[in-house]
A = this chain, B = another copy of it.
Amino acid sequence: MTIRLLLADDQELIRHALGVLLGLEPDFEVVASVGRGDEVTSAALEHRPDVALLDIDMPGLDGLAAAAVLGAQVPGCRVVILTTFGRTGYLRRAMEAGAVGFVVKDAPADALADAIRRVMAGERVVDPALAAATLAAGESPLTARERDVLIAARSSATVAEIAARLYLAEGTVRNYLSGATTKTGTRNRMEALRVADERGWL
């Protein structure tokens, strides 16, 4: 009884190497391999994998969104997120998107195969250190609007631009940014943005 795998990672070299690595396991078979998030679902519908390994950083659709779509359209396919950074925020969002496994690329070499087999056995698999970090980071203390303003700040340089984009007064924007910096324990919007992003609060 072989486990059918779908691989999604935008770095072709890495995807191919992972495919070779997993193909060496006697009970695994890589049945599909894509480089874009928006190709995941159609490939899964065509090849019916048991487990989909999704990277997060992908063009078209990120791995978390792809996981959500996959869960809705191909219910028999279990999703394992395989990603570069042990960014704590991604874990929570991955679980919300229906993933049952979360493996980081700095994990030991056999962790991935192990995770796949345990997921097939019905377990949820998460890197323990990552799980602890996620618990430590806690729920987001930001209000919805503080979050909106921070996201807008990511691509706007000045308060005036953020205000224009969100149809708010400048003072309001400054207030939300101030609240965000307080809650993140930082000293200006840029640090607040970075911290909130790292913790998955955006």
Query: Which candidate, A14-22, A63-71, A117-125, is the interface stretch facing chain B?
Result: A14-22
For the complex, is A10 an interface residue (Cβ under 8 Å from B)?
Answer: yes
User: Interface stretch among A41-49, A102-110, A139-147?
Assistant: A102-110
Judge whether A14 and B14 touch: CB under 8 Å. Answer: yes
Which residues of A are in contact with B by a Cβ distance under 8 Å?
Answer: 10-14, 16-18, 20-21, 24, 84, 103, 105-109, 111-112, 157-158, 186-188, 190-191
Q: Which residues of B contact A17 (CB under 8 A)?
A: 14, 17-18, 20-21, 109
B residues within 8 A CB of A112? 13
Contact check: which of B12, B109, B187 meets A12 at CB < 8 Å? Answer: B109
The residue on B at minimum CB distance from A186 is B157
Minimal beta-carbon separation of A60 from chain B (angstroms): 14
Q: Closest 9 CB pairs between A and B?
A: A16-B109, A17-B17, A17-B21, A11-B105, A157-B187, A13-B105, A11-B106, A20-B21, A17-B18
CB of A53 to closest CB in B, whole Å: 11
- Chosen A-B contacts, 7 in total, with CB atoms closer than 8 Å, are A12-B107, A13-B105, A13-B106, A16-B109, A21-B21, A84-B84, A190-B190
Nearest-CB residue, chain B, relative to A103? B13
Query: Which residues of B lie under 8 Å from residue A108 when comparing CB positions?
Result: 12-13
- Bound-state CA distance A163–B177 (Å) is 26
Roughly how many angstroms separate A14 CA and B13 CA in the complex, as a whole number?
10
In the complex formed, the residue of B with least CB distance to A13 is: B105
On whether the beta carbons of B14 and A105 are closer than 8 Å, the reply is yes
